[in-house]
Amino acid sequence: MISTAIRLARVGSGSELAAALLLVLSFPSIMLAAIIPDIWLFTAAVAVSYLADAHLHQRGSYLVNRLAKVRAGLSIRFLIRQLLLVLLVARSGLGQDRIFYVTVVTVLVFYGLQAPHGAVVTLLRLRRRLPVVTRNIDLSAIRIPDAPPRWLLQRSAEKMLHLDLFAMAGLIAALATDENLYGYAALGLTLVFGVGYVLALLPYLRPSRLVPPADKVLAAVDGWLATYKPTTILYFSGSKESAYQVNMWLETMDQLEGRPLILLRERVIAQQLLPTAVPVLCVPGGVHLMNLDLSTVRVALYAANVGKNIHMLRVPTMKHVFIGHGDSDKLASVNPFSKAYDEVWTAGRAGRDRYALADVGVLDQDIVEVGRPQLAPIEAGTGVPRHPVPTVLYAPTWEGWDDNPGNTSLLLAGENIVKRLLAAERPVRLLYKPHPFTGTRSPKAKAVHERIVALVAKAAAERAGDTRWASAALREEQAAARAELQRVEARLTLLSAGSDASRDEAEESRDAKADPARQAELTRLRAEWNAAYWRSFGWWEHRVISGAEPRLYDCFNESDAMVSDISSVVSDFIASGKPYAVTDSADLGAEEFKRQNTAVRAAVILSNSAAELDELLATLTDPAADTRAAARHELKRYLLGPDEPTSIEQFNAATRTLAGKSLSRNVGVEQRLAEPEGGAEAAAPDDSAPVAARAEEGLETAADALVEPENNDLDPSLRG
C-alpha cells in the first residue's frame, strides 16, 4: 500500500511521502494554533513544517516543483508561516502593542528583500555563464575570474528565506515569557542578516568579477580552433540519461588519428561526460555553433539521431557519418533518418544486411564496416567458469517509447527469470544490471524493476548468512579490497573533472586543461577500482549493479553467461564468445524470433516463463552441453567483423578515406568557384590521364591532410 502511494505521489521514497504528508498537515495545524491561540502547538507545527520542507528540498523531490505549479511555492509557504506568526501575536493580546506593528513591518520588509536578493543571484548566475563549456581547451586568451563563494549561491533562496527563523524563534520566546525584548532583537537580526546577504552579493557584480561577453569568449574559442585545427569531431546531443551514448565513444576518440574534438550541445551532457584527454567543446546555442570556424574538420561522427544534428549536418565542408551507440536488431538501428548522412558505419556484415532488408533508403555503397572499437576491453571466455559458483548477468533493456511487448523482458518475464536464477538447482550468482532508462516512461516497468531489486536483495541477504561460502581468509581479503576501494575512490574524487564543488562552470572551463599524466593516472585508478570492486564482495553474492560504474563490459568480464533482450547489449556480449539467452517477450516463437533478429541465432531462446533457462545453466556446469559454441564464433564475425585488422585500425582507415573524400570535394568546389565564366573548357583536366589514377591521386593527397591540414584552410564562404 505504501509503495502504491509512493508511486501515485511520484516521490522517491517513504521518507519523502511522510515529509509531504507532514508538510500538508502542518499548515492547518499552524493556523489552528494561531487562532486558538496555543504557543506550544504553534511551535511544534512550525518546526514540523520547516523540517518537512527542508527534507523535500534536500531530496530534490518532484513535489517541490508541483507545489510551485499550484502557487504554493517556497516563498509563498514561508510568507504564510510569517503571516500566521503575525496572527498569533495578534490573538495573544498584543494586537495594539508596538511589538505587533514592528512584526508586521518586519515581515513586509523581509518579504520585499526577496526581490533584490533573487535579482542579484539570477544576474550573477547569468553573467557567470559562458556561452560554451570546455574541457582540455586553453582559454587563457580571456580572463575568467574566480566564482563567488559557493555558500553565497548554493540554494540561495532557501538560505535567504530561512533567516526568518530568528524572528520566528524570538517572537515565540517573547510570547512565552512576556518579554518583548526577545522579539525586537530577533526581528532586528532577521532584517540585518537579510540586508547583509544582499550586500554580500553585490561586490561580485563588478565587471572584474564577471566573465567576458559572449563575443569575446567565442572569439577565444575560434582562436583555439585555428591553432588546434581539429580534423574529426564526435557530435552529440541528448538528455542527461543518454550520456552513456557518448561516453562509450571516449576511448575510441582518444585512439583516433589526427586531432579529434568532442562537440556537445547540452551543458548537462558536459557534466555527465567521463574523464577524457580529448578536447571537449559544448556549444548550447545553435547560432553560436553555426558561427564557429570548423573549416579544418573533415569528418563528423554522430552517435545518435536527434533534431539538433541538423545544426552540423548543414555544413558541406565535412563528411557526416552515423556511428550510433550500439549494434542491435532493434528498429532504431535502421532509422530512415540515416539517409541524411554521407556514410553509415556498422560493426560487421549484419549491419549492412539490416539496412538492405529494411529498405529505408540507405545505399549499400554508403555503408562501411568498421567493427566495434569499444569492445576491446571485453575478454574472451575460456569455457570454464571464473569462480566455483558461476555468474549469470541479467541485463534487460528498457521499455522503449511504446508498449510493444518485445521491447523489454522486464514486464512479462523479468521476475520469472530472476526467480529461476535465484532458485537454480546448482547455485549461480546473479548480477542484475538494468538499463539506465528503465522506468523513465512506464510506471509498470519501474514497479517490476523495484520488485526484482527486492528479490535480489532478499536472496543476497539469505546467502550472506550461509556458512558454506565464505572462509575467514576470504572475509579478510574482502575487507582489504573495501579499504582499497576507499583509497582509490578518494584519489579519483580529487582527480576527476568537476570534483571541486566550490567552482562554477566558468571556472571548470578555465581550469580543465589537457593533462596527459593526470589522464593516465585516472585510467590506472579506474582499472584498480574495478578490480577492487569485484574483490570487495564474495563470488557467490548476488548483486544489483546500477550507475555508471562498474561498466557493462566489466560485468561481461565477470560473468560466465548472460540473459538479455533484443538490444546492442546482446551484440556486444557476443564478442566474449560466452553462452547467452535472449527473451522472446513478444511470443513470436523461436524460429520466427531468430529470423527477425540476427543476434539471437546462437542464443538460448526464452519464453516469458523462462523455463528454457535450464539449458543455459547446463552449459555452465558441463562444457559438453554447450552445443552453440561454434555458432557463436561464426555469429561474432558476422555481427562484429573480423578480429584482424583490429577494429580501431579499421575505424582509423575509414576515417582517413572519408577525410580524403571530404577534402577532394572542398578543393573541387574551390576550383569551380575560382574559374572565370566560360572558362570551364580551358580549366578541364587532361583526358589523357586515366580517371582512376586522377581520383586515386586526389584521395591520397586529401587523406594526408587528415593529419596535416595546415595548408588546406577553406574560403570562409564554404564553412556553412
Segment 195-223 shows an average pLDDT of 94
The grid coordinates of residue 209 equal 568579477
The grid coordinates of residue 475 equal 572475509
DSSP annotation of 90: I
Are the C-beta atoms of residues 534 and 291 closer than 8 Å to each other? no
Q: Per-residue confidence at 407, pLDDT binned at 50, 70, 90?
A: confident
Cα distances (Å, whole numbers) of residue 593 to 152, 396, 411, 428, 615 = 59, 17, 18, 27, 18
Q: Please, what is the Cα angle at 69 between 67 and 72, to 5 degrees?
A: 45
Q: Which of 103, 54, 104 is nearest to 74 (CA)?
A: 54
- Cα torsion 345, 348, 350, 351 to 10°: value is -10
Cα separation, 364 vs 352, whole angstroms: 7
Return the CATH number of the domain spanning residue range 229-376+648-674+689-720.
3.40.50
pLDDT, the chain, mean: 87
Q: Per-residue confidence at 357, pLDDT binned at 50, 70, 90?
A: confident
pLDDT computed for residue 1 by the predictor = 47
Q: Which of 347, 255, 355, 353 is nearest to 575 (CA)?
A: 347
pLDDT computed for residue 268 by the predictor = 93
Does residue 550 have a cis bond before it (omega within 30 degrees)?
yes
Segment 80-99 shows an average pLDDT of 94
Cα separation, 438 vs 436, whole angstroms: 6
**Residues 144-195 pLDDT 10s:** 998 898 889 988 999 999 999 999 999 999 999 999 999 999 999 999 999 9
Cα separation, 661 vs 299, whole angstroms: 10
pLDDT greater than 90 at residue 489? no
The grid coordinates of residue 332 equal 532504431
**Residues 597-624 pLDDT 10s:** 888 999 999 999 999 999 999 999 888 8
DSSP annotation of 207: G
Reading phi first (left if > 0) and then psi (alpha if -120 to 50, else beta), residue 148 is in beta
- Report which secondary-structure segment, H or E, holds 322: strand 319-322
pLDDT computed for residue 502 by the predictor = 58
3-state secondary structure of 166: helix
Give domain limits for the chain: 2-131+145-207, 229-376+648-674+689-720, 391-465+472-640
Q: Which of 108, 50, 92 is nearest to 180 (CA)?
A: 92
Reading phi first (left if > 0) and then psi (alpha if -120 to 50, else beta), residue 229 is in left
Are the C-beta atoms of residues 417 and 610 closer than 8 Å to each other? yes
- What lies within 8 Å, CB to CB, of 450 at 6+ separation is 3
Segment 21-40 shows an average pLDDT of 94
pLDDT computed for residue 714 by the predictor = 38
The grid coordinates of residue 578 equal 560466452
Are the C-beta atoms of residues 668 and 695 closer than 8 Å to each other? no
- What lies within 8 Å, CB to CB, of 100 at 6+ separation is 86, 89, 90, 94
pLDDT greater than 80 at residue 389? yes
Report the predicted TM-score, pTM, of the whole model to 2 decimal places.
0.77
Burial grade of 484 (CB within 10 A; 0-12, 13-18, 19 or more): middle
Return the CATH number of the domain spanning residue range 391-465+472-640.
3.40.50
Segment 103-123 shows an average pLDDT of 95
Are the C-beta atoms of residues 527 and 491 closer than 8 Å to each other? no
pLDDT greater than 70 at residue 442? yes
pLDDT computed for residue 10 by the predictor = 55
pLDDT computed for residue 474 by the predictor = 76
Q: Which of 161, 163, 165 is nearest to 74 (CA)?
A: 161
The grid coordinates of residue 422 equal 535465484
- What lies within 8 Å, CB to CB, of 515 at 6+ separation is none
Q: Which of 573, 583, 586, 590 is nearest to 639 (CA)?
A: 573
Q: Per-residue confidence at 496, pLDDT binned at 50, 70, 90?
A: low
Segment 621-643 shows an average pLDDT of 90
- What lies within 8 Å, CB to CB, of 131 at 6+ separation is 214, 217, 218, 283, 284, 285, 288
Cα separation, 213 vs 128, whole angstroms: 10
Q: Which of 568, 565, 638 is nearest to 603 (CA)?
A: 565
**Residues 675-718 pLDDT 10s:** 876 554 444 444 444 433 334 444 444 444 444 444 344 333 33
* Residue 331 vs residue 237, higher pLDDT: 237
Q: Which of 548, 527, 550 is nearest to 537 (CA)?
A: 550
* Residue 694 vs residue 292, higher pLDDT: 292
In this chain, the answer to whether the domains covering 229-376+648-674+689-720 and 391-465+472-640 adopt an identical fold is yes
pLDDT computed for residue 574 by the predictor = 93
DSSP annotation of 465: T
pLDDT greater than 90 at residue 215? yes
pLDDT greater than 50 at residue 271? yes
